[in-house]
Amino acid sequence: MYTSITLRNVGDAIVASLSNGLIAVINFVPKFVAGLIILLIGVIIASLLKRLLEEALKVLKVEATLHRYGLPESGKDLSWSNLLSEIVRWFVIILFLIPTADIWGMPQIVTVLNAFLLYIPNVFVAAIIAMVGFVFARLAHDLILASMKNMTRDTSKTIAAVVKWAIIVFVLLAILNQLGVAVDLIRILFTGFVAMIAIAGGIAFGLGGQGTAKHILEELYKKLK
């Protein structure tokens, strides 16, 4: 008798568990389908926006302009246009992933995606800073070479290279700061870099102007005497 009641209870528990599981699956299927449709729509829109942005950048000849001003040419998958369009594509995909995860009942995933969504514009801005900064570094290099014709070629090339790499270092620090990578460390490095440039410039000016300073002091001494 006791065994019969125990087996009946176990059977009832199994049936109830299977019923609850089946009901949960049936209730989740519409949510899963709705979330999947939203995600597919987001992927399609993201792909279209990527293609439109790539075509717009191609019409504006951004890639050709960047190569003209010294940025190295790369493969199709590693081009600057592809990088920017890929960032935009993932921004849109994550934008649609958030309501999808919400429909699927994943609040932790929604929190992570929201944080990531807020971070993607920083990556986009960092890429723009990199493009503009590297182009500016090359322009400064060429401008210094063109304007220092009175100096020897080695001297002008050295000064131009120093200016170019100083700008590149500044751009890299700005990119890291935009990405939020070790912000305090970047500030310390930036302060040290500026101080180094100022001290180096002061020493160079002092050493280069020794003769002039000596001549001025000698003339002043003669007048006072």
Per residue in 146-169, pLDDT (tens digit) is 776 666 777 777 777 888 888 888
List the single range of 46-50, 75-79, 134-138 with lowest mean pLDDT: 75-79
Q: Where are the domains of the chain?
A: 1-100
Angle at 123 between CA 193 and CA 119, to 5 degrees: 110
**Can you give the pTM of this predicted structure?**
0.62
Between residues 123 and 80, the one the model is more confident about? 123
Is a pLDDT exceeding 80 seen at residue 170?
yes
Helix (H, G, I), strand (E, B) or coil at 181: coil
CB neighbour list of residue 99: distance below 8 Å, 6 or more residues apart: 35, 38
Q: Compute the average pLDDT of residues 104-132.
A: 85
Residues 6+ apart with CB under 8 A from 89: 46, 47, 49, 50
Band (pLDDT 50/70/90 cuts) for residue 21 is low
Measured distance CA(174)–CA(122) in Å, rounded: 11
Q: Which segment of 39-53, 72-86, 123-137 scores lowest on mean pLDDT?
A: 72-86
State the average pLDDT over residues 78-89. 81
What is the average per-residue pLDDT within 97-121? 86
Are the CB atoms for 108 and 165 separated by under 8 Å? Answer: no
Which pLDDT tens digit goes with each residue over 174-224? 888 888 776 666 667 667 666 666 665 555 555 454 555 555 556 555 655
CA–CA gap between residue 68 and residue 169 (Å, rounded)? 21
Would you say the C-alpha torsion 119, 123, 128, 133 has a positive or negative sign? positive
